[in-house]
Amino acid sequence: MQKAMFIFLLLIPILIVDNIQAQTYDRLNPPFPRTGIFNMASAKPGNSHGTREIMLKDYDMVMIYGMTDFGGDDLARLLRSMNSNQIILASGINSVNDRDPVDYFLYRSYRGTLLEPVEPNQSLIRINDLTDIHAGQSDARLLYIRIDDDLIKAIRVEDDTTLLVETGTSTRLIADAHHDAGATVYSVIRVSGPGIYPNYSEYATTVDGKYVWEFIAEENFLREVDWTSGLFDGMFHDWFTYYLYIGAYQHDFDMNGVNDKLEHSDEWIGRQWHYGLGRFVQKEVELMNQLTPGLPNLYGVNAGGVLDVYYEYMNGHQFEGFQRFTSVPSVIVDAQKWVNQGQKPTIMHLFDYFPEKHFYNGKNRFNKVRFGLTMAMMYDMYYCHAAGDTYYLFYWYDEFETDMGYPTGPPSTLSNGLLVRYFDKGVAICNPTGADQLLTSAMLTGGPYYRLQGGQDPAFNNGELFTEINLYGYDYGPKNLRGDGILLFNEPTTVVADIIVDNFFMNATSPASDPVELTGTWSKKVSAGFEDFTQNNPYWSMTGSTKSFTTDKYDYDDSWGYHVSSAGSGENIAVWKPTIGLPGWYEVCEWHGWHGDTPTSYDEATDIPFEIGVGSEVRIRGMINQQVNIAQWNRLGYINLPAGKEGYVKITNDANGYVIADAMRFRYMGGEDFIPDSVPPASPTNVRVY
């Protein structure tokens, strides 16, 4: 297969279930546990995002860009081809931007007056008083001012009366017309996340007969995406600001030049904001149902924490960064309300994470994952575990691949505070108490139950008949009750998620394993990114950024795509050593993209020597041709691996071209009863060539 042919691999539908299952599987009501991912990276010029979409396809539900960005439609179409059962939600806009009519904007109570006339493209604007012109912000870099109908971006405050603003021919946000001395200067409320706030209040004005909540809703469904194409199952809004932060912004909803906080109250400000926000939600749901009456038309938002409204319109909401903004007791109360009152099917989402300061070990905190996952299972939520304050890396765990079936009833609480919920194929237990709690088999109904047998945390997931366990818990404060959870099964159950050993510890190497070990001279690389997904270098990676920073425990330089070596005599060596939790037979596969920005940038080697072994014993040898079989897992062989890190795959640069060190996959095939197929297929006979 030639390099360019990799695109067809991505476009060929992958059959997740057989035909009979496909007829009965309800993708809007998948079995438990349920996984969902909110991943907003998109295809843009810059760096290739690697194989992010291949990793996203395994989740039951994804929220991706639908509007105002490159690749939303293409990514949805690609994901649908790879997993026809996946719920795909488009993330839309819920604010206004600097291209929209200025009459829709929310302003501060600040009012300035021009001391001198302003001419087009003028850089310094003199205003009578700059006090509070950017109230609520640390400086003027997020400041937009309005003079008449001109929207102008500030750069900085020069002195008490002088503002430096944008100029040039390549930007829109400049003084674009003449303005007389004495003209009023308004200050727009704009923040770094949501953007420009709309005036959602009862004092909102119309533009061409439309209120701002109508304008934004129609922007999403009628102008930014062809909603009638049916690519998306519903709408999801990030930065859904239900609890408007008031702070020192000096809101002026009624546009009378007086700070609403002083003129009215915080409660009044909140009531004004909710006036239009509710109408926006209602309008979007109405538009969906009008445009695609036969589709699911699900609706959800990320309000950060709890959301005690809009049950009649929404199928759920997201808890962002579990325990980041909301306490465990609040999550329990709020999630239960959505189970009882929210629209069905539910898309409630528990979005768990660890911050940059825990990059050194965050993905291997398995008790944290079990805690979040079992909490999600109590209240019909989808779950994921991501890394970083912007959640740009995500991880796959053994428990995600289990099948507990469906709940047989609601959760219950044991006398020691443990949450318990029974399913067709087992039981999930979560410890939300903030203290260690003993769980015994006698405390559970039914049984006997078995612990999961897994590979990532084998001491915990040991596959044994369940008798008792002490579930961890710790109280770090009201918003930080840590705990553990456990899945128990009616029958012995073994699940070992594929072990990926990639180039970097954080960027796509599986939990419990470490990245490739490099000796000699290897260069870490990313490739150019393209709006067309099929042109991007498909190296195994969640992100193609080159982000780096240092914490008190970890130096992070971990978002590159792949490593490469020039041809040599074997002095450059790459060794992949998976952490094997469950010994047995493993299929070993290699992955590579190409070297450079395009498939023809360089000549990759066709004779890269590899060996697979255990300890000092080499069991398999062969050659890899990296000019073919691009963007797929290429089987190198089967090997029986012991527990630990004794197994390995090794390549060198003793080759005739550039050698790519990217990813290796170790897929569990079974124990001693597995018989690897080592017999090559027979040559075809009676073949007639036309």
> CATH for 499-670?
2.60.120.260
Could you give the CA distance from residue 516 to residue 663 in angstroms, rounded to a whole number?
8
Give 41's pLDDT tier (boundaries 50, 70, 90): low
Q: How far is CA 563 from CA 504, 596, 660, in A?
A: 10, 11, 6
Q: Which two tokens stand for residue 363?
A: 């993905």
Q: Which two tokens stand for residue 120?
A: 């087009």
**Does the pLDDT of residue 74 top 90, yes or no?**
no
Could you give the CA distance from residue 191 to residue 50 in angstroms, rounded to a whole number?
31
Residue 369, classed as helix, strand or coil, is helix
Q: Which two tokens stand for residue 281?
A: 């939600």
Across 69-106, where does the E strand assignment appear? 87-91
Could you tell me if 517 and 572 are in contact, meaning their C-beta atoms sit under 8 angstroms apart?
no
Q: Which pLDDT does position 441 carry in this prediction? A: 98
**Does the pLDDT of residue 7 top 60, yes or no?**
no
Q: Which pLDDT does position 683 carry in this prediction? A: 56
Q: Which pLDDT does position 174 carry in this prediction? A: 95
Share of the chain above pLDDT 70, in %: 93
Give 449's pLDDT tier (boundaries 50, 70, 90): very high
**Domain locations in the chain?**
107-188, 499-670
Q: List pLDDT tens digits, range 153-177.
A: 999 999 999 999 999 977 789 999 9
Give 530's pLDDT tier (boundaries 50, 70, 90): confident
Could you give the CA distance from residue 140 to residue 165 in angstroms, rounded to a whole number?
10
Could you give the CA distance from residue 502 to residue 258 in angstroms, rounded to a whole number?
58
User: What one-character DSSP code corresponds to residue 329?
Assistant: H
Give 244's pLDDT tier (boundaries 50, 70, 90): very high
Return phi, psi of residue 369, to 5°: -65, -45
**Does the pLDDT of residue 23 top 70, yes or no?**
no
**Does the pLDDT of residue 689 top 60, yes or no?**
no
Residue count (the chain): 690
The mean predicted confidence, pLDDT, of the chain is 92
When mean pLDDT is compared across 235-239, 477-481, 522-526, 527-531, the lowest value belongs to 477-481
Could you give the CA distance from residue 110 to residue 251 in angstroms, rounded to a whole number?
9
More confident residue, 28 or 40: 28
Concatenate the DSSP letters of all residues of 500-513 into one string: EE-SSTTTTPPTT-
Q: Of 399, 401, 450, 406, which is closest to residue 424 (Cα–Cα)? A: 406
Give 533's pLDDT tier (boundaries 50, 70, 90): confident
Q: List pLDDT tens digits, range 170-214.
A: 778 999 999 999 999 999 999 887 789 999 999 999 999 999 999
Residue 313, classed as helix, strand or coil, is coil
Q: List pLDDT tens digits, range 325-339.
A: 889 999 999 999 999
Average pLDDT estimate for 109-137: 96
Q: Which two tokens stand for residue 606?
A: 């066709």
Q: Which two tokens stand for residue 238?
A: 């990030």
Strands 61-65 and 87-91: parallel
* Amino acid code (one letter) for 342: G
Average pLDDT estimate for 423-439: 98
More confident residue, 354 or 552: 354
Average pLDDT estimate for 275-291: 97
Could you tell me if 606 and 582 are in contact, meaning their C-beta atoms sit under 8 angstroms apart?
no
**Does the pLDDT of residue 554 top 50, yes or no?**
yes
* Amino acid code (one letter) for 174: I
Could you give the CA distance from residue 148 to residue 490 in angstroms, rounded to a whole number?
70
Could you tell me if 394 and 354 are in contact, meaning their C-beta atoms sit under 8 angstroms apart?
no
* CB-based burial label for 572 (10 Å; 0-12, 13-18, 19+): buried
**Does the pLDDT of residue 22 top 80, yes or no?**
no
User: What one-character DSSP code corresponds to residue 219?
Assistant: I
Q: How far apart are the first and last CA of the chain?
A: 22
The reported pTM is: 0.93
**Does the pLDDT of residue 483 top 70, yes or no?**
yes
Q: In what order do the strands lie in the sheet with 499-501?
A: 499-501, 663-670, 584-591, 634-641
Q: Which two tokens stand for residue 77?
A: 């179409």
When mean pLDDT is compared across 143-152, 345-354, 523-532, the lowest value belongs to 523-532
Q: Which pLDDT does position 19 carry in this prediction? A: 36
Q: Which pLDDT does position 189 carry in this prediction? A: 96
Could you give the CA distance from residue 200 to residue 204 in angstroms, rounded to a whole number?
6
Give 553's pLDDT tier (boundaries 50, 70, 90): confident
* Amino acid code (one letter) for 25: Y
Return phi, psi of residue 106, to 5°: -95, 130
User: What one-character DSSP code corresponds to residue 249?
Assistant: -
Q: Of 582, 644, 591, 525, which is closest to residue 55 (Cα–Cα)? A: 591
Could you give the CA distance from residue 417 to residue 420 in angstroms, rounded to a whole number?
9
Is domain 107-188 annotated with CATH 1.10.3470? no
Could you give the CA distance from residue 85 to residue 200 in angstroms, rounded to a whole number?
37
Q: Which pLDDT does position 534 carry in this prediction? A: 84
Q: Which pLDDT does position 417 carry in this prediction? A: 98
More confident residue, 170 or 576: 576
Average pLDDT estimate for 443-457: 97
Q: Which pLDDT does position 681 carry in this prediction? A: 55
Q: Is the dihedral of CA 285, 288, 290, 294 positive or negative?
A: negative
Q: List pLDDT tens digits, range 657-675.
A: 999 999 999 999 999 889 8
**H or E element that contains 301:** strand 298-302
Q: List pLDDT tens digits, range 377-400.
A: 999 999 999 999 888 899 999 999
When mean pLDDT is compared across 8-17, 23-32, 304-313, 611-620, the lowest value belongs to 8-17
Could you give the CA distance from residue 92 to residue 280 in angstroms, rounded to a whole number?
12
**Does the pLDDT of residue 18 top 50, yes or no?**
no
Could you give the CA distance from residue 150 to residue 176 in angstroms, rounded to a whole number?
6
Could you tell me if 112 and 184 are in contact, meaning their C-beta atoms sit under 8 angstroms apart?
yes
**Does the pLDDT of residue 494 top 80, yes or no?**
yes
Give per-residue burial for 137-166: e unless 16+ CB within 10 Å, then b. beebebbbbbbeebbbbbeebeeeeebebb
